[in-house]
Amino acid sequence: MKKQLKLPKFKNEDEEREFWARIDLSEYFEPSDFVPVSFPNLKPTTRSISIRIPEYLIVRVKEQANALDIPYQSLMKQYIAKGAFKKL
């Protein structure tokens, strides 16, 4: 086990960014220093898509969404997510 180096003090974010971009992390940290982290409150990145859906399905989804008092696009996302993770 080699001796870990001390981290320098940074004057600004640019200096720190440059430092982390050019160094070897193994000189400053041991593998045991790292711990798994979770960011449960991060919203997943979304992207707009265009999809053709028969009118009768849109009407039916809008009716169901109205009964649940949620936007119909949100209900459609729930349906897609449920179907995407369902075992075939």
pLDDT in tens, 36-52: 988 888 888 889 999 99
Q: Whole-angstrom Cα distance, residue 58 to residue 50?
A: 14
Assign 3 a pLDDT band (cuts: 50, 70, 90): low
64 or 86, which is more confident:
64
Averaged pLDDT for residues 76-80: 96
Q: Which residues of 31-51 are buried (b: 16+ CB within 10 A; e: fewer)?
A: eeeeeeeeeeeeeeeeeeeee
For position 30, what pLDDT does the model report? 84
Rounded alpha-carbon distances, angstroms, from residue 65 to 56, 70, 77, 80, 86 = 14, 5, 11, 14, 22
- Dihedral over Cα of 35, 41, 44, 45: its sign: negative
For 27: left if phi > 0, alpha if psi spans -120 to 50, otherwise beta; the answer is: alpha
